[in-house]
Amino acid sequence: MAEPKKKRAGKRKSNGRSKSNGSPERTGSLGFESKLWDAADLLRNNMDPAEYKHVVLGLLFLKYIEDAFEERREELRGAVSDPDSEYFEETEAAREDAL
């Protein structure tokens, strides 16, 4: 008969956040990443690794969507600023509205 798994004590692995402010070590953040990491840390303490993978996959998907959105937004920002583009907007206010 298999013995139940015991919780391991010891050092925690780095979660990719800086020590100074608890926010992720990257730029262009939307501001909710630290809350997601904190929630993930809480869940990891109470979940089996087989269940936790679904949480991690969801977080990875959100990260992918955020990166894809930022990339596309930068492409559009360039298009509305380029006078040769069909998406060109003359005023800054019109450019922001287009984004």
pLDDT band at 29 (very low <50, low <70, confident <90, very high): low
Q: Domain residues for 44?
A: 33-98
User: CB pairs under 8 A, 24+ apart, for 56-64?
Assistant: 62/36
pLDDT tens digits, one per residue of 5-14: 544 444 444 4
Q: What is the DSSP secondary structure assignment for residue 85, as one 8-state letter?
A: S
Instruction: Count the domains in the chain.
Output: 1
Question: Whole-model pTM above 0.85?
Answer: no
Task: Give residue-wise pLDDT tens across range 33-77.
Answer: 788 778 777 877 777 778 878 878 888 999 999 999 999 999 988
In a domain, 58, yes or no: yes
The Cα 69–Cα 91 span in angstroms is: 23
Structure tokens at 9: 């004590």
The verdict on residue 27 lying in a domain is: no
Residue 55 placed within a domain = yes
